[in-house]
């Protein structure tokens, strides 16, 4: 009986590594079978209302993400236009439309060694390009304006795994935005501020929070 118990214990010790290996095989797939890409929908504070992002794993702990953002808003109202001393001010209907398109890219370094890329804490650096379109329609005329800007991104974030495929991504960090600004002066004939003088380069530092829900594949 003692020999049988000893033999059973020895067999148990010998089969433990194999059992652990089989358990890891079923619970944690190898790196070659893990999803290496993610498609995301999200939003950015103080910027685009909606974003579409694509993240691609480059190595064990690195990834590259590209994001396209779009935001539009319209407004209808009236504006007081000076028509001369005989007529005075006349209230004319005005339609305004603003559109913003953004394209950004960032390189991410995931900080937790035991977790592969696309999961866990990460630090990121990147660049964002922005285009702004403004359209004013009043008195039978249409006025269009365009502006552009660039921003340097430094983010700290985390990406959570929600089941085998879905992820939730959140990052916060400062952004240094550089843009061209032209001084404006109020035009009493049109009721709007018209740009005057040369364009000048300006910079602004502000915090940004981004949230994204993604699907890995």
User: What is the predicted pLDDT for the residue at 78?
Assistant: 67
Structure tokens at 202: 């300006």
- Nearest to 108, CA basis, from 173, 157, 152: 157
Strands 37-44 and 192-216: antiparallel
pLDDT for 128-152, tens place per residue? 999 989 888 876 778 788 888 899 9
User: What is the predicted pLDDT for the residue at 80?
Assistant: 61
Structural domain contains residue 12: no
Q: Considering all CA atoms of the chain, what is the largest pairwise distance in Å, rounded to the nearest integer? A: 120
d(CA 166, CA 56): 15
Structural domain contains residue 25: no
Structural domain contains residue 90: yes
Structural domain contains residue 124: yes
Instruction: State which H helix or E strand residue 20 sits in.
Output: helix 2-27
Most confidently predicted of 7-11, 20-24, 145-149, 194-198: 145-149
The CATH number given to whatever domain includes residue 41 is: 2.40.160.20
Structure tokens at 112: 């937790």
Structure tokens at 11: 């067999």
Residue count of the chain: 217
Structural domain contains residue 10: no
CB atoms within 10 A of CB 62: 14
User: What is the predicted pLDDT for the residue at 14?
Assistant: 46
d(CA 128, CA 153): 7
Structural domain contains residue 3: no
pTM of this structure: 0.71
Structural domain contains residue 140: yes
Structural domain for 43, as ranges:
32-216
Domain count, the chain: 1
Structural domain contains residue 104: yes
Side-chain half-sphere exposure of 216, counting CA atoms within 13 A = 20
């Amino acid at each position: 009986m003692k020999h049988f118990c000893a033999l059973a214990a020895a067999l148990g010790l010998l089969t433990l590594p194999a059992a652990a290996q089989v358990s890891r095989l079923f619970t944690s797939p190898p790196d070659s079978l893990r999803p290496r890409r993610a498609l995301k929908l999200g939003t950015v504070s103080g910027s685009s209302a909606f974003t579409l992002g694509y993240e691609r794993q480059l190595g064990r702990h690195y990834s590259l993400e590209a994001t396209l953002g779009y935001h539009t808003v319209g407004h209808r109202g009236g504006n007081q236009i000076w028509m001369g001393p005989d007529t005075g001010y006349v209230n004319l209907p005005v339609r305004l439309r603003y559109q913003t398109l953004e394209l950004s890219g960032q390189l991410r370094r995931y900080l937790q060694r035991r977790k592969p890329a696309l999961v866990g804490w990460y630090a990121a650096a990147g660049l964002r390009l922005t285009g702004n379109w403004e359209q004013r329609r009043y008195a039978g005329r249409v006025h269009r304006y365009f502006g552009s800007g660039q921003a340097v991104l430094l983010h700290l974030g985390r990406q959570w795994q929600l089941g085998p495929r879905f992820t939730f991504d959140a990052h916060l960090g400062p952004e240094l935005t550089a843009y061209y600004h032209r001084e404006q002066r109020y035009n009493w004939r049109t009721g709007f501020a018209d740009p005057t003088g040369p364009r000048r380069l300006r910079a602004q530092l502000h915090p940004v929070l981004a949230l994204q829900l993604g699907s890995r594949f």
